[in-house]
Amino acid sequence: MTILALDHVQLAMPAGGEDDARRFYAGLLGLAEVAKPANLAKRGGCWFESGPVRIHLGVEADFRPARKAHPALLVSDLPELADRLRASGFTVRIDEPLEGYDRVYVSDPFGNRIELMQRLQS
C-alpha cells in the first residue's frame, strides 16, 4: 500500500458562513467554487479548487478555528496577494523565515490559519 497524493484539505466553518467563504477563497484567493455532491450539499459548507489544490469547508456545530494546523498554499505573486488581502481588511502576518520561500499567514473569515508561500528564485 502506498499513499499516492493528498486529495483535499477540510477546514471547519460556522453555520451560515458560505458567503464569507466565497468572498475569501474565491474572491480573494482566486480558487474556483465547485459544486458539492447532492448528498453532501445538504450539510452546508462549500468546496474550492485550483488545479490539484482542493479546499473543502464544512459546517461544524461546535466550531473552533484552526489556529495552528493549517494548509500552506503556493502562490505566484505573494506581495500582490498580501496587498489585496490587506486592502480587504485582513491582517497579513510575517513569521520566521523558511529557507527557499517568502511566506505570510492570514486568517480566513472564521479564524482558520492559512499560510501563503512563494518559492524564491535561485
Residue 94 lies in a domain: yes
Residue 89 lies in a domain: yes
Residue 99 lies in a domain: yes
Residue 2 lies in a domain: no
Cell of 43: 450539510
Q: Give burial (CB, 10 Å; 0-12/13-18/19+) of 112.
A: buried
- State which residues form the domain around 47: 9-119
Q: Facing residues of 118 across strands?
A: 102
pLDDT (tens digit, 9 = 90+) per residue, 61-88?
Answer: 999 999 999 999 999 999 999 999 999 9
Rounded Cα gap, residues 78 and 84, in angstroms? 10
Total count of domains within the chain: 1
Q: What pLDDT is stored for residue 121 in this prediction?
A: 86
Q: What pLDDT is stored for residue 122 in this prediction?
A: 73
For the entire predicted model, the pTM comes to: 0.95
Average pLDDT of the residues of the chain: 97
Q: What is the DSSP letter of 44?
A: -
